[in-house]
């Protein structure tokens, strides 16, 4: 199969523990892949929209992927994930080696799969949206990101432990008393407070988790009297206005894998 004319968007500030951006860029160009290195403040989605590439890829962490995946989904062109972040959860669930971004470049002439994407209102997500203490943890981690990593983790977990206020939410109109809720694109292996991996990405279902309960549907509506909820969308902090309509888009995204 001939390689598609591909564009790889590289976030050189991602927290990869493997090869550096220079090595990744050099290898991509050696393979004939066009490369765009993001400058400070540049939006990867805008770069993807301006491209005429036949396949759109991004090298970055989980929080960088959805913007490019959304453009690929809208244009119906294949998406390529190059694990180049700290955790690389989506890459793991896709079956990629999380610490080998150079090997993932072979996806540009690899096999195609179709996978589901989730929506929180209009915002696309690939992994999950957390509400409550997990989201607060992510917000605190972001506030302390410039401090030593260990100190930031201690401060964030301290905030999580001491935050005992329930979310005060309803799920499809039913009041739910919980400090945490997780809405996932396909099923995770969950053992609170640990969120594990997914066995598949094409089930066509959302899974909503609160401690002691799991709900499965194609759509959920989460509301809160406060009119807003702190959230972490694919690990990135955000504030979502309520009510939030979560829905699944089955097999909406074409993905290339090595």
- Please tell me the predicted confidence (pLDDT) of residue 13: 77
- Please tell me the predicted confidence (pLDDT) of residue 187: 98
**Class of 6-109 in CATH:** alpha beta
* Position 153 confidence tier, pLDDT thresholds 50, 70, 90: very low
Contact present, 133 and 167 (Cβ < 8 Å): no
What pTM was computed for the model? 0.86
Give the residue-averaged pLDDT of 214-241: 94
Other residues' Cβ atoms within 10 Å of the Cβ of residue 78: 24
- Please tell me the predicted confidence (pLDDT) of residue 136: 54
Residue 100: both structure tokens together: 């080998």
* pLDDT at residue 193 is higher than 70: no
- Please tell me the predicted confidence (pLDDT) of residue 18: 58
- Segment 93-149, tens digit of pLDDT: 999 999 999 999 999 999 999 999 999 999 999 999 999 865 555 545 544 444 445
Quote the CA–CA distance of 140 and 135 in Å, as a whole number.
9
- Please tell me the predicted confidence (pLDDT) of residue 144: 47
* Position 86 confidence tier, pLDDT thresholds 50, 70, 90: confident
- Please tell me the predicted confidence (pLDDT) of residue 132: 83
Annotated domain spans of the chain: 6-109, 128-250
Contact present, 98 and 197 (Cβ < 8 Å): no
Give the residue-averaged pLDDT of 167-190: 93
Task: Name, in order, each residue with C-beta under 8 angstroms of 228's C-beta and a sequence gap of 6 or more.
Answer: 239, 240, 241, 242
Task: Name, in order, each residue with C-beta under 8 angstroms of 63's C-beta and a sequence gap of 6 or more.
Answer: 85, 233, 234, 235, 236
- Please tell me the predicted confidence (pLDDT) of residue 85: 87
* 128-250: CATH number: 2.60.200.40
Contact present, 53 and 39 (Cβ < 8 Å): no
What are the Cα distances from residue 178, in Å, to 8, 39, 88, 190, 247? 41, 40, 28, 16, 21
Give the residue-averaged pLDDT of 67-77: 98
- Segment 20-46, tens digit of pLDDT: 899 999 999 999 999 999 999 899 999
Quote the CA–CA distance of 90 and 115 in Å, as a whole number.
12
Quote the CA–CA distance of 16 and 38 in Å, as a whole number.
15
Residue 247, judged by CB atoms within 10 A of its CB (0-12, 13-18, 19+), counts as: middle
DSSP one-letter code for 39: P
Name the residue with higher pLDDT: 249 or 85: 249
Hey, which residues does 132 pair with through a beta bridge?
Answer: 180
């Amino acid at each position: 199969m001939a390689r598609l004319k591909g564009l790889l968007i590289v976030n050189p500030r991602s927290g990869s523990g493997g090869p550096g951006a220079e090595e990744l860029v050099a290898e991509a160009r050696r393979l004939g892949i066009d490369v765009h290195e993001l400058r400070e403040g540049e939006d990867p989605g805008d770069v993807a929209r301006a491209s005429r590439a036949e396949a759109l890829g991004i090298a970055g962490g989980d929080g960088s992927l959805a913007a490019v995946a959304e453009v690929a989904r809208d244009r119906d062109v294949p998406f390529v994930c190059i694990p180049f972040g700290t955790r690389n959860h989506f890459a793991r669930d896709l079956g990629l080696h999380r610490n080998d971004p150079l090997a993932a470049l072979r996806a540009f002439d690899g096999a195609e799969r179709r996978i589901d994407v989730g929506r929180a209102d209009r915002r696309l997500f690939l992994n999950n949206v957390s509400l409550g203490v997990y989201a607060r943890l992510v917000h605190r981690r972001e506030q302390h990101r410039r401090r030593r990593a260990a100190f930031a983790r201690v401060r964030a977990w301290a905030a999580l432990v001491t935050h005992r206020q329930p979310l005060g939410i309803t799920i499809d109109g039913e009041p739910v008393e919980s400090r945490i809720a997780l809405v996932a694109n396909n099923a995770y292996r969950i053992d609170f407070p640990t969120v594990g991996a997914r066995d598949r990405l094409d089930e066509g279902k959302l899974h909503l988790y609160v401690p002691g309960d799991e709900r499965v549907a194609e759509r959920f509506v989460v509301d809160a009297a406060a009119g807003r909820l702190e959230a972490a969308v694919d690990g990135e902090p955000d504030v979502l206005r309520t009510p939030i309509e979560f829905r699944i888009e089955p097999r909406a995204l074409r993905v290339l894998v090595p």
